Structure formats: structure tokens, C-alpha cells
Structure 1
Amino acid sequence: MPPGGGRPGEFGRPPFDQGQRPNFIPGGPAPVPGVMPGVTPGAFPGGNLDDLRRQRRERTEDGGRRVIIQEPDDRTIIRDGGRLIIRHDETDRFRRSYGGADVRVQQRGGNQVTIVRQPNGEEILTERDAYGNLVRRIRRTPDGREVILIQNEFQGRPRFPYGYLPRDVMDLPPPVVVIPRNEYIVDVEGASQDDLYQAFTAPPIMPIARPYTLDEIRQSQLLRERVRRVDVDTITFDTGSWALSPEQYGALTGIGEAIRRVLASNPNEIFLVEGYTDAVGSDEDNLSLSDRRADTVATVLTQNFGIPAENLTTQGYGEQYLKIDTQGPERRNRRVTLRRITPLLQGQQR
């Protein structure tokens, strides 16, 4: 069943009615700092890259072929052959975004379920398998109704550890783009509010063969390119930093309002926040920096613009997909991009 389908949840609760979102007010006033319950917005901490390097712990598997780098905040960098990916647990972002949230952990068979109870009584359930892989994300309302927001495992389809993709994803052809470039890739700086809304509500540019898991979407550029993207060129990051100051938050106003408009029609939409770096620095550092930059923007969108944290998911791509083709320092490459990925999760045709 695709995410947001409204059937009974995996935890035996009645279905969540499509379009219902108790703590989201469609058409309400523009959000201001402090709009989310229990949140006290402020400068987002950036941390120190040198400290991060010192706290990493490394181990090898598979006769030395696979290297696992564990970071102190539950991020894991995996180098497997020529591939490098990063995984993270988004529970910390939920906890930060909803400052008064209560967090508890339960075992469900061989899986672990982390439950974040928000100040408004809603709960976000994140189920992971024994290897830490995301299985699904569920929203539960105070009256016990559930909706599956993200399904990362489909019955009868084998799991691919460490991000290996099934053959049909690896063999996807490049998308055929027949719309103007400025509609396919929307730069926030020159875009109107209607331009952003259109980018986030437009159907895929070509048919989507089947519902895809979140991991498949995160790890396949060709799959992500089947939906439009919004480049947030109104904010960039300092070298080695994933911090944003309150003065920069206003540059996210257009994005925040566009997402609010989309959620007013369907509160179960999912948006992927992608983080990037320039080409300066090691692959591991850049991957971690980019993942944290995406996390920063997602947190600010929740704390300052009222976007529910569970409607956002994040992924860092390091120095892959440079916007400006240079190996030197380039601020425009230290950026974030957003896409509405619900059509990919649901297998929407067009």
C-alpha cells in the first residue's frame, strides 16, 4: 500500500483520514519563530568539523572490502568498494524540531520502533530493522488513527543492504525532459510563489513504473530526476559549516509558504531535502557536511515555518552533482535542493 493510503496502520490502529492534519492550519497566517509547539528557534548550531573527525570510529567488514565510519550523532558513512553513502536516524531532528517531544523505544519482533510524542499529542513512529535500516514512518493522531508516510520495504521484495539497488533501478534510462529548464529546475531567487508551488505540485515528467522505497529514491539520481527540483540558491554555507544564522532564515520564506500550500491540499506529502558541498575536502567530510546541511534546512523549515518534521526527509550527497563545475572553493555548490517525492513513493504515473 503506498504511503498515505489511509488503511489501518501496521500497529493495528484505525486508518488516518486523508486530508486530516489536526495541528496544521491550511491558509493560516505566515508562520513566525516559535510557531511550532515547544520550539524556541535560534541560530542553528554548526559544530566543529575537526571535532567531528576526532570522534569518528571506524571498522572494517567483509575482509576489509567494506569500511564503516560511525559518527557521534548516529550518522554512519559506508565505503563499500567504489561506493560511498551516508545513513542517519532522523529521530534527533524530530526531537530538535519539537522541543518538548518525549521519545521512547520499543521492540516489535526483530525491529526497533522509536516513538516521538509531540507536545500536541501526535506521535511519529519510526521502525527500523536489526541493521538500522528504515522500514517505515507512521504518523499517529491522539485518537489512535495512523497513516504510513514512508514505506521503505515492500512485501516480497528483497532488502538490499548498504544501499545496493535492484536491477530495475540501476538500469533506469535518463529522463526525457521536454519542459523548459526554468520549470524543471526552479531557482528560488528568481521564482515567484506560484512558480515554487507549481514545481512542488506538478506531476512527474514521465511515468513512474512502480512505487519506490525511500532508499531507492535517495540513492538513484536518475529516479529523482523524474520529478522537478527547487534549488535554494538564496542560502549557501560557509566552508566546513552546516550552520545557519537567524538572519538567513528569511531566505527560506518562499519555500516554507509553498510547502504549506501543498500540505493544505494533502498533509501526507513527503519532501526530500538534499544537501551538497563544493569539491574541496575529503569525500567523507563532504558527505557528512552535506547531510548536516540538509538536516539544518529541514529543522529551520519546521521550527520557523511550521512544516511538520515528518513531512521532510533528508539526504547528503557531498560533492556529487556540482552546480558549478569547479574543483575549487565555490559557495554556490554549498547548497540545498528540495523535491516533492510523493509521486515516486506512490508510483504515480503522471
Structure 2
Amino acid sequence: MPGPRNLSDFRGQRREVQEGGRTVITEPGRIIIRDPGGQEYVRHNEMDRFQYGARDIQTQVVGGETRTVVIRPDGSQIITVIGRDGELLRRIRRDDRGREIIIIDNSYRDPRAIGGFYVDLPPPVVRMPYNRYIVDSEEASPDVIYETMMAPPVDRIQRRYTLDEIRYSPNVRQLMPSIDVNTINFATGSWEIPPDQAAKLQAIADGLNRAIQANPREVFLIEGHTDAVGSDTDNLSLSDRRAESAATLLTQQFGVPAENLTSQGYGKQYLKEQTDGPSAINRRVTVRNITPLLNGGQAALPPPPPGVAPPR
């Protein structure tokens, strides 16, 4: 069995280049980009999570788009379409009878959107108690966790947002309530979730499965956050890997469909406790429903009944 994975194993494998004024740092499994203003963000390929337990995986490139089909033992398929620039265009679940559910459709572009993926919105106006806007999973009942996962936006959603706009625009994400999980104790520099810590995700998994069973189109963002100790690059990589570990565990141990989850690390950018020192409160995973952001605030449509083709 391999030993614990640790960030120190990757530092020596990082490569840094300059591209068009940006600094691009590559390491195994991650690309970290630092823009001219010093802001950093991290990207990774989520396909590894979808391949768990797959019977077959097929990939083809058509017209510059990469289409990957993960075929599961029950005959269902998860279809992921990636554009020329590496951006996710569509994620579709097709059952064994050929019925399709579109989970994410990023092919839509709002005509008011300006290039890039950062959306400059004012902070949302929150008219609900703080402890119901940002819920502490350790103190919340299963019903409160589920209600938070299914809660409506706290403020008006102006349009549909792409997944990258949601990932990299904090005031867009903050339109949705969230659940903080800061009870998982990761070893320093590691993203492995020890077996004795895994049970702490049970209530989150139950809420996710309940929500997805009610509507298979729901999409949840698993966010990773660190405290302020260490470099920006280390913390971005570490938080992104921890978020992915949580998403992977939710699927492999608790049966949450991988395609209904996406993950992103934010390092020390959004501290909950304003301190430069070690902080367990800041070392957390956050879960939020981003479905209303993807569909512009419209109610998510239920799956079509048997024998009825979904809308295209």
C-alpha cells in the first residue's frame, strides 16, 4: 500500500513558465496560474473521479471538442464534453435506455458577459440569520443540512453563470448558502482523509443523496480552504486536493454520484477567522448547491418520465 501522500513530494516537480504576462506553475495533477496582479487560481482535471468503478472509458475528439464517455457496470454513461480551451462544455448522464439528463450545460453564453471568467458583482444582500447562511455541519441537524442544500439564493440571480464563472467569482458563489465542514483533521501538508475521519462526512453525504434523489440535475460545489500558514501556491494546491479527496470519498464510500459534484480549492483566500497563524476553523471543506447559479435561478426541472425525450 502506498504511504500518505504529501505536498512536499511535489514541490521538487513544479515547473514555472511565463505566458502572456501570467505565471503558470505545473505540478502532478494541477496547474496553478498567477495573473499579473498577483492573484492565483488552480485547475485540475475531474475525470479521475468519474472513472471509479467504470466498465469502459471511451474518448474521441470531434471538431476540436473532446468527448469522454464513462460506461458504468449498470450500462449508464457519463458523457463529458471539453472545449478547445479545456473548459467544460457539457456533462450528461445517459441511462441504460438512452434517456439523457443534462447536468451541466456551459455551452450557453450570456450576451452581456464580457470575456474571461471573473464576474464583478457586489456582495449579495443576506436577509437571513448568519448561522443559516453559513451552516456549521457539526452543530446542524440532518434536516438543517438538507434544507441548506436545497435553499434558494439569498439575493436575485441576474443570469446564468458558467461553471468557471462560479468557481472563480466569490460574490457569485455567495448568492447561495453553504455548509462548513471543519471537523476533518488532515495531516500537515496531506490531503488524505484518514479512515477514522471519514464518518464525519456521513451527514453531508446523506443530505447530498437525498437532494440528488429528489432532482438528479442538482450540482454541488465542494470547496477546499486552508489557513494562512504557508505559501499561496502550496495552499492552493493543498486545498484543491483536499476538496477533491472529500468529493472522491463522498462517491466511493457514501455513493454520492460523482457527476453531481465538482470541486475547487481556494487556499487561504477566504479566511473565516482573520489570523495569520494556524487555525482549524480556516482549514475546512465547504459545500454549496450551485444549481441555481448554473440555470439562472430557474427551478431545476425534474428528469423526464420514462419514454419521454429530454429537451435539447
TM-score normalised over the length of structure 2: 0.90
Alpha carbons of 1:146 and 1:175: their partners in 2 closer, same or farther (altered >3 Å)?
A: same
Q: Is the 8 A contact 2:117 2:164 kept in 1?
A: no
Q: How does 1:307-326 map to 2 (within 5 A)?
A: 307-326=256-275
- The aligned counterpart of 2:310 is none
Stretches of structure 1 that go unaligned for 5 or more consecutive residues are 1-42
Aligned-partner Cα distance in 2 for 1:164–1:238: 33
1:47 Cα deviation after fit: 1.5
Q: How does 1:289-304 map to 2 (within 5 A)?
A: 289-304=238-253
Post-superposition CA distance 1:25-77 (Å, at most 9, x none): xxxxxxxxxxxxxxxxxx99752212211222222211xx111122222x211
Aligned-partner Cα distance in 1 for 2:185–2:2: 14
Q: Which has the higher helix share?
A: 1
- The aligned counterpart of 1:346 is 295
1:117 Cα deviation after fit: 1.6
Q: Which moved more, 1:128-137 or 1:173-182?
A: 128-137
- The aligned counterpart of 1:145 is 99
- The aligned counterpart of 1:61 is 19
Query: What is the identity, as a one-letter code, of the residue corresponding to 1:49?
Result: L
2:288 is paired with a residue whose SS is strand
- 2:119 is the counterpart of 1:119: no
Q: 2:5 aligns with which of 47, 50, 53?
A: 47
1:286 is paired with a residue whose SS is helix
1:115 Cα deviation after fit: 1.8
Aligned-partner Cα distance in 1 for 2:298–2:103: 19
Stretches of structure 2 that go unaligned for 5 or more consecutive residues are 300-312
1:197 Cα deviation after fit: 0.9
2:138 is paired with a residue whose SS is helix
- 2:220 is the counterpart of 1:271: yes
Alpha carbons of 1:106 and 1:181: their partners in 2 closer, same or farther (altered >3 Å)?
A: same
1:256 Cα deviation after fit: 0.8
2:281 is paired with a residue whose SS is helix
Query: What is the identity, as a one-letter code, of the residue corresponding to 1:265?
Result: A
Query: What is the identity, as a one-letter code, of the residue corresponding to 1:58?
Result: E
1:100 Cα deviation after fit: 3.8
Q: What stretches of structure 1 move > 3 A for 4+ residues in a row?
A: 43-46, 155-161
1:81 is paired with a residue whose SS is coil
Aligned-partner Cα distance in 1 for 2:7–2:245: 15
Aligned residues: 298
Q: How does 1:67-216 map to 2 (within 5 A)?
A: 67-73=23-29, 75-82=30-37, 83-95=39-51, 98-155=52-109, 157=111, 164-165=117-118, 169-170=119-120, 172-216=121-165
Query: What is the identity, as a one-letter code, of the residue corresponding to 2:169?
Result: S
Q: 1:235 aligns with which of 184, 198, 220?
A: 184
Post-superposition CA distance 1:229-265 (Å, at most 9, x none): 0001222422211111111111111111111111121
Aligned-partner Cα distance in 1 for 2:229–2:3: 22
Alpha carbons of 1:45 and 1:209: their partners in 2 closer, same or farther (altered >3 Å)?
A: farther
Aligned-partner Cα distance in 2 for 1:337–1:113: 30
Alpha carbons of 1:225 and 1:156: their partners in 2 closer, same or farther (altered >3 Å)?
A: closer
Alpha carbons of 1:277 and 1:298: their partners in 2 closer, same or farther (altered >3 Å)?
A: same
Aligned-partner Cα distance in 1 for 2:66–2:114: 19
Greater relative contact order (Cα < 8 A, sep 6+): 1
- The aligned counterpart of 2:171 is 222
1:332 is paired with a residue whose SS is coil
Alpha carbons of 1:311 and 1:164: their partners in 2 closer, same or farther (altered >3 Å)?
A: closer
Aligned-partner Cα distance in 2 for 1:147–1:45: 39
1:77 is paired with a residue whose SS is strand
Q: Is the 8 A contact 1:236 1:332 kept in 2?
A: no
- The aligned counterpart of 2:308 is none
Query: What is the identity, as a one-letter code, of the residue corresponding to 1:334?
Result: R
Alpha carbons of 1:45 and 1:78: their partners in 2 closer, same or farther (altered >3 Å)?
A: farther
Q: Is the 8 A contact 1:91 1:116 kept in 2?
A: no
Aligned-partner Cα distance in 2 for 1:189–1:195: 11
TM-score normalised over the length of structure 1: 0.80
Alpha carbons of 1:156 and 1:270: their partners in 2 closer, same or farther (altered >3 Å)?
A: closer
Aligned-partner Cα distance in 2 for 1:93–1:44: 19
2:50 is paired with a residue whose SS is helix
- The aligned counterpart of 2:309 is none
Aligned-partner Cα distance in 1 for 2:114–2:236: 21
Q: Is the 8 A contact 2:185 2:197 kept in 1?
A: no
